[in-house]
Amino acid sequence: MCLKRKFSMELQRTISSTKGFQCIRKYEKFESLSTKYFNSSPNLSNKKKRGLKQCYLYFLIDPRISRNLPVSAKGLNELEIWQQFLNSIFYVGKAKSTRPYSHLYNAMKKYNKQVTIAEESDDKGGLLNPIVTDIQMIKYGKVDHIVDIWRNGFGVVNLHVFHNILPYEAYTREAAVIDAISLPNLTNQKRGVYYGPSRKWTAKGRKSLGIALLYRAMKIFLSEGEIQLYPFDLA
């Protein structure tokens, strides 16, 4: 399976060498600065204005690329683990409640429709739509990407991280992660919006925040394990 991605320059540096990977520790300060602001800023003392701490981030992960990384990581070095995790992410979102599952339900409707059409075509002696056996660098929408995963016999991995944060903080984290990975590598349609001190940071500082968050998300993924969601899990 061949997948070539070119991330932001800052993120690309972390997968180019062990020294670059170790620099991730230096980026943690950006997360600390951002978190401190959202937890203590007097400008956010009005709960009606800031919202409640009900948000989190979620990553949609392609298991054809992650290849059960929490288990297979034992046979890989740290750079291989890091790169494989980054390559497997195809969507990043901010949410509360069950928002991520709306994408899956929309995908299930499209998937079921395709299955019905394929079965009717088969009954009539027609050709079934081919199943792609390799990941191609095509800019799918997230729903189409989910359907493609299911059509290849896999389930979608829906990783939730950074629970119980404010909406403004969730938006900021989402924006930083998208900028770090680089929008062309995701099915997201637009970049995010920054709030708090990160609004005045340089592009490098914002991406450094995104890298620190991605690293923490990877640690959570490796700890929790990979759980795939299939259409029958949503019925």
Q: What is the pLDDT of residues 95-109, one digit of tens each?
A: 988 778 898 999 999
Question: What's residue 43's pLDDT?
Answer: 61
Weakest mean pLDDT among 50-54, 85-89, 140-144, 180-184 = 50-54
Q: Which of 186, 214, 234, 232 is nearest to 6 (CA)?
A: 186
User: Strand, coil or helix: what is 119?
Assistant: helix
User: Strand, coil or helix: what is 62?
Assistant: coil
Domain-wise residue ranges, the chain: 9-40+50-98+156-226
pLDDT category of residue 82 using cuts at 50, 70 and 90 = very high
Which residue has tokens 């708090």? 196
Weakest mean pLDDT among 48-62, 135-149, 202-216 = 135-149
**Token reading at 162:** 């950074």
Contact 158, 58 (CB under 8 A): yes
Question: What's residue 128's pLDDT?
Answer: 44
What percent of the chain is modeled with pLDDT above 70? 85
Question: What's residue 5's pLDDT?
Answer: 85
